[in-house]
Amino acid sequence: MAMIYATLIIKGAKTYREVPAALKIQVKTILIDCGCENLITD
């Protein structure tokens, strides 16, 4: 599920703020690993 959110964030369909709290750490890790840390906005 975290990968799905990360993909949607990268594609611009979702924002990091829309990620459920339970998944934020995993999504953040994926975005950093993909070099997309600029998309992490709290």
pLDDT digits (tens, 9 = 90+) for 18-30: 999 999 999 999 9
Q: Given a cut of 90, is residue 42 above it in pLDDT?
A: no
Distance CA 18, CA 11 (A): 14
CA dist 18 → 7, 14, 42 (Å): 13, 7, 10
41 DSSP assignment: -
User: Domain coordinates of the chain in residue numbers?
Assistant: 2-39
Q: Which residues of 3-36 are buried (b: 16+ CB within 10 A; e: fewer)?
A: eebbeebeeeebebeebeeebbeebbebbeeeee
Put simply, whether the predicted model's pTM sits higher than 0.85 gets the answer yes
Mean pLDDT (the chain) is 97
